[in-house]
């Protein structure tokens, strides 16, 4: 009699595991092998600002009153249509977290004037459509706030970080209570242009590297010639840096292996949970893949033959030329999180185009209201 699998056989996902994968927890341990970054602790007032509806940015020195759209809340600055919105024009949302704002300004300057932001787990990659650079590159605090407040990924960090977790079993009650609180941090990474072809996601089960694959789902022919070299380089990195030092036996990690492909940078650590994208695998595959067996030899045998290598080779998947994933460019990445095409096109034209679009939209709304009023009078 066959049985139908109704639920993926994940081990219990705890709040402790989710917190272990938070950037602020693992970065101090692995700082020497990660790209340059700084962490800014976020007060409750800043978190409330991120959670609040609408996008109101702190005023900047170069704000001009005529640039405001008056009612959308997208831009900071004043309004040139009268005094009705003077209170909004003077409103500074950073008043209650001014020290944090100034620390962010200082950190951007310290990191060379350009940074890429993220919260504890997620980067606002789904919101780059609204940035003037159409990327994660930020040069001012307001660039960062605009991305964070426009991102569904960041909202998940704020609202759903502990979704689908189970209560700790047999733990210290004080530790359990402490783990229910999330110390939010803003991660600011020094802006560098990464080559997406050499970014890889790696999967660890029971402290064994069982699989790895591309992060960018496009076909790169040159990777196939380097597949064995890359696998060995990443496996060696895992054995030396992560295998015994990360608190949990199951996790995933992202790496960057730039030319000449002999050094590995740790980019991120992710939970062993359905929320993490398995990319070229399925979670059912990863949960049921055969693991390498632990050597059964005793210590004397190990001393006699230190050169014995484990036969197991992690599954390493690349996008082939004829794979459906190789043509993913036909569907824009993160398209489910984007706005209508007119808004996206306006944002790609820079701040001026987006501002012009907002003014045109406001005028269209005004004309529509007048038309509705005229129709009502005729009736």
Q: What is the pLDDT of residues 17-29, one digit of tens each?
A: 999 999 999 999 9
- Asked if residue 347 and residue 297 are part of one domain, the reply reads no
pTM over 0.85, yes/no: no
- Asked if residue 179 and residue 169 are part of one domain, the reply reads yes
- Asked if residue 303 and residue 269 are part of one domain, the reply reads yes
pLDDT at position 72, please? 44
Cβ(210)–Cβ(315) under 8 Å?
Answer: yes
pLDDT at position 290, please? 85
pLDDT at position 69, please? 45
Q: How far is CA 130 from the centre of its chain?
A: 16
pLDDT at position 294, please? 66
pLDDT at position 312, please? 78
* End-to-end CA separation in angstroms for the chain: 70
pLDDT at position 325, please? 64
- Asked if residue 284 and residue 225 are part of one domain, the reply reads yes
Q: Answer left, alpha or beta for residue 263, where phi above 0 means left and psi between -120 and 50 means alpha.
A: beta
- φ, ψ (nearest 5 deg) of residue 209: -75, 110
- Asked if residue 317 and residue 177 are part of one domain, the reply reads no
Instruction: Give the residue numbers spanning the domain of 33.
Output: 10-56+91-192
pLDDT at position 75, please? 46
- Asked if residue 249 and residue 219 are part of one domain, the reply reads yes
* Residues of the chain falling short of pLDDT 70: 1-5, 61-90, 169-180, 294-311, 325-366, 368-379
Residue located via tokens 């209201």: 369
Rounded CA gap, 257 and 199, in Å?
Answer: 7
Residue 73 lies inside a defined structural domain of this protein: no
pLDDT at position 302, please? 52
- Asked if residue 371 and residue 320 are part of one domain, the reply reads no
Among 192, 210, 234, identify where a domain stops.
Answer: 192
Identify the CA nearest to 250 among candidates 294, 206, 289, 213: 206
pLDDT at position 8, please? 87
- Asked if residue 333 and residue 232 are part of one domain, the reply reads yes
Beta-bridge partners for 205:
208
């Amino acid at each position: 009699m066959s049985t139908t699998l109704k639920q993926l056989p994940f081990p219990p996902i705890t709040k402790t595991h989710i917190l272990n994968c938070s950037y602020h927890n693992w970065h101090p341990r692995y700082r020497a092998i990660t790209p340059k970054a700084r962490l800014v602790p976020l007060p409750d007032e800043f978190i409330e600002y991120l959670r609040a509806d609408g996008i109101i940015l702190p005023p900047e020195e170069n704000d001009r009153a005529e640039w405001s759209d008056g009612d959308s809340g997208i831009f900071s600055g004043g309004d040139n249509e009268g005094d009705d919105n003077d209170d909004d024009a003077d409103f500074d949302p950073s008043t209650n977290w001014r020290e944090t704002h100034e620390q962010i300004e200082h950190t951007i300057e310290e990191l060379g004037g350009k940074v890429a932001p993220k919260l504890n787990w997620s980067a606002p990659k789904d919101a780059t459509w609204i940035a003037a650079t159409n990327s994660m590159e930020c040069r001012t605090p307001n660039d960062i706030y605009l991305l964070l407040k426009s991102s569904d990924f960041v909202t998940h960090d704020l609202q759903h970080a502990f979704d689908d977790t189970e209560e700790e079993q047999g733990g210290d009650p004080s530790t359990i209570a402490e783990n229910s609180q999330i110390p939010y941090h803003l991660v600011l990474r020094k802006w560098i242009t990464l080559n997406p072809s050499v970014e890889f996601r790696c999967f660890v089960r029971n402290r064994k590297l069982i699989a790895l694959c591309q992060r960018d789902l496009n076909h790169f022919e040159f990777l196939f010639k380097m597949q064995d070299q890359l696998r060995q380089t990443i496996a060696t990195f895992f054995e030396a840096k992560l295998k015994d030092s990360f608190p949990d036996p199951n996790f995933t990690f992202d790496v960057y292996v730039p030319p000449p492909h002999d050094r590995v940078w740790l980019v991120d650590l992710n939970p062993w949970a359905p929320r993490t994208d398995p990319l070229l695998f399925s979670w059912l595959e990863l949960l049921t893949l055969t693991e390498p067996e632990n050597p059964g030899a005793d210590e004397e045998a190990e001393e006699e033959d230190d050169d014995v290598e484990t036969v197991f080779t992690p599954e390493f998947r690349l996008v082939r030329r004829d794979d459906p994933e190789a043509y993913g460019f036909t569907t824009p990445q993160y398209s489910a999180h984007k706005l209508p095409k007119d808004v996206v096109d306006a944002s790609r034209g820079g701040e001026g185009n987006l501002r012009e679009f907002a003014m045109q939209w406001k005028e269209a709304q005004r004309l529509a209201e007048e038309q509705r009023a005229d129709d009502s009078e005729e009736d």
